[in-house]
Amino acid sequence: MAPALYSNAVISIERLTHRFGENTVLDGVTLEVEAGEIVAIMGSSGGGKTTLLRCVSGLLRPTSGKVTVDGIDAVRQPEAARRTMGMVFQASALFDYLSVRENVLFGLRRWSEEPRAVQDRRAEEVLELVGMADAGDLMPSELSGGMKKRVGIARALALRPKIMLYDEPTTGLDPITTYTIDSLIADVRKRFEVTTLVVSHDVASVFRVADRLAFLEDGRLTFVGSPAEFGSSKRAAIEELVAKSQATSFLPAH
Ligand SMILES: Nc1ncnc2c1ncn2[C@@H]1O[C@H](COP(=O)(O)OP(=O)(O)OP(=O)(O)O)[C@@H](O)[C@H]1O
Ligand SMILES: [Mg+2]
């Protein structure tokens, strides 16, 4: 396959390599995500998905390679790069001692130069968008897993990012809640035209939301293509994953 050359790439990852000591976790990953596109990253557990997302987000400096987000070098200017991105972490990472509203306001108070009243309004707007308009006064300990994800998404959206990064947004959620979070991810893209990178191991879920899928095996991307191409791939690890998801989709819920 010819290398993807999108003139419109908002996320560009070039020959990204990362080692933790002797352990090569990412080994020359190259991927581009177009403006407004949703790309899902799949792969085995421990395969380096979170590490890839952390390198893109500027939270982790890769051993080598280049990451450009919205024209900013995320390796050299991680702080500036981070301002363009909203991140929803694998664990919800809410501040336990702050209410839902305060969690959403946290980044706004710190980074936004708008008047407080505008920030307050923005917090209410994003909470409404994720279906949590009435939950502003609740504490994280009072929320279900799906609600925590929603607040995480609202918090990430509050600063109007151009890019959203989601790490396993539906892991541990029941199928119905998974469906609602998937719809929310699609909604957010449509409404704000955000470029999206989402890590997931749920085939049904990524088939619903992603325009393209990338498959990470032993630190290398062994597949990048459409959901239909993924579904008919002859790669053993992909076939196995697809077969497993088809098998479970026929099982009764209980
Ligand atoms: N801070 C770290 N220090 C050392 N090794 C790490 C660190 N973070 C991750 N690793 C190692 O890197 C590898 C990839 O981890 P990573 O969390 O990126 O995988 P993953 O694909 O996100 O897995 P999962 O599906 O379980 O979330 C693992 O072998 C892990 O042990
Ligand atoms: Mg992970």
Best substitution site from 16, 17, 19, 20 to test ligand 1's pocket, by max atoms within 8 Å of Cβ?
Answer: 20
Tell me the two tokens of residue 196: 């999206």
| Ligand 2 center to 50 CA (angstroms) | 4
Which of 120, 82, 80, 116 shows the shortest CA–CA distance to 104? 120
pLDDT at 175: 87
Q: Is residue 67 part of a domain?
A: yes
What residues flank ligand 1, with Cβ below 6 Å? 20, 23, 25, 43, 45-51, 90
Tell me which residue has its CA closest to atom 25 in ligand 1. Answer: 45
Q: Is residue 77 part of a domain?
A: yes
Ligand number nearest CA of 46 is 1
CATH number (domain holding residue 201)? 3.40.50.300
pLDDT surpasses 60 at 4: no
Query: Per-residue confidence at 246, pLDDT binned at 50, 70, 90?
Result: confident
Q: Is residue 156 part of a domain?
A: no
Q: Is residue 49 part of a domain?
A: yes
pLDDT cut 90: percent of the chain above it: 80
Whole-model pTM?
A: 0.92
Tell me which residue has its CA closest to atom 28 in ligand 1. Answer: 46
CA distance 52 to 60: 9
pLDDT at 253: 46
Q: Is residue 18 part of a domain?
A: yes
Q: Is residue 70 part of a domain?
A: yes
Expressed as residue numbers, the domain containing 42 is 1-84+193-248
Q: Is residue 110 part of a domain?
A: no
CA distance 84 to 163: 6
Mean pLDDT of 81-105: 92
Mean pLDDT of 132-149: 94
Tell me which residue has its CA closest to atom 10 in ligand 1. Answer: 20
- Main-chain phi, psi angles of 68, to 5 degrees: -120, 125
Looking at the CA of residue 54, tell me the nearest atom of ligand 1.
18
Q: Is residue 179 part of a domain?
A: no
| Ligand 1 center to 217 CA (angstroms) | 13
| Ligand 1 center to 58 CA (angstroms) | 16
Tally of domains within the chain: 1
pLDDT cut 70: percent of the chain above it: 94
Side-chain-side CA neighbours of 40 within 13 Å: the count stands at: 25
Those residues whose beta carbon sits under 5 angstroms from the ion ligand 2 are: 49-50
CA distance 5 to 112: 34
Amino acid identity for residue 162 in this structure: K
- Give counts: helices (H), strands (E), the chain: 9, 10
Mean pLDDT of 145-160: 92
Mean pLDDT of the chain: 91
